[in-house]
């Protein structure tokens, strides 16, 4: 009965979108912080190759986080 009243498709999509969006954003931002932290250490140790790789990780993580936030706003405004 509840299944007939509740829009289960919309509810399911809400659950999946929230889970992927919430956990995914936390994950990619954590990667950005990992990259930034390790970049500092690698730079101090003079490991330029590793420093460049961690800088790229930090930058990509930040960009992905910004993209996730922008996507959230776009999804909301286009309904």
Partner 1 sequence: MSETDLVLGIVVATALAFDFTNGFHDTANVVATSISTRAMSPRIAVGFAAVLNFAGAFLSLEVAATIAEDVVDPLVITTTVIFAGLVGAIAWNLITWYFGLPSSSSHALIGGIVGATFVAAGADAVFGEGILGKVLVPAVIAPVLAFFVGAVGIVVCYRVVGRQRPGPVTRGFRFGQVLSGGLLALAHGTNDAQKTMGVIALALIASGHLGAGSDPPVWVIVSAATAIALGTYTGGWRIIKTMGTRIIKMDAAQGFSAQGAGAAVILASTHFGFPLSTTQVIAGGVMGAGAGKRISAVRWGVAGNIVVAWLLTLPAAALFGALVYLVTDLFPVAVGPVVVAVLGLAAVATVFARRIRTPAPAPSG
* 57 in Cβ contact with 35 (< 8 Å): yes
CB of 47 to partner 1, least distance (A): 16
Under the binding rule (CB under 8 A), the answer on residue 69 touching partner 1 is: yes
Q: Which two tokens stand for residue 32?
A: 């950005």
Q: What letter would DSSP give residue 49?
A: H
Q: What is the nearest approach in angstroms of partner 1 to the Cβ of residue 39?
A: 10
**55 and 35 in contact (C-beta within 8 Å)?**
yes
> Does residue 44 touch partner 1 according to CB under 8 A?
no
Does 25 bind partner 1 (CB under 8 A)? Our answer is yes
Q: Are 30 and 58 in contact (CB under 8 A)?
A: no
Binding of partner 1 at residue 56 (CB under 8 A)? no
Locate 66 and state its tokens. Answer: 């910004």
Residues lying near partner 1 in the complex (CB under 8 A) are found at: 2, 5-7, 10-11, 13-15, 17-19, 21-23, 25-27, 29-34, 36-38, 40, 65-66, 69, 72-73, 75-77, 79
């Amino acid at each position: 009965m509840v299944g007939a009243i509740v829009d289960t498709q919309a509810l399911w999509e809400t659950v999946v979108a929230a889970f992927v969006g919430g956990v995914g954003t936390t994950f990619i931002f954590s990667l950005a912080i990992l990259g930034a932290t390790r970049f500092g250490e690698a730079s101090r140790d003079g490991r330029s190759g590793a420093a460049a790789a961690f800088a790229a990780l930090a930058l990509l993580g930040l960009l992905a986080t910004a993209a996730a936030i922008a996507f959230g706003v776009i999804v909301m405004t286009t309904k």
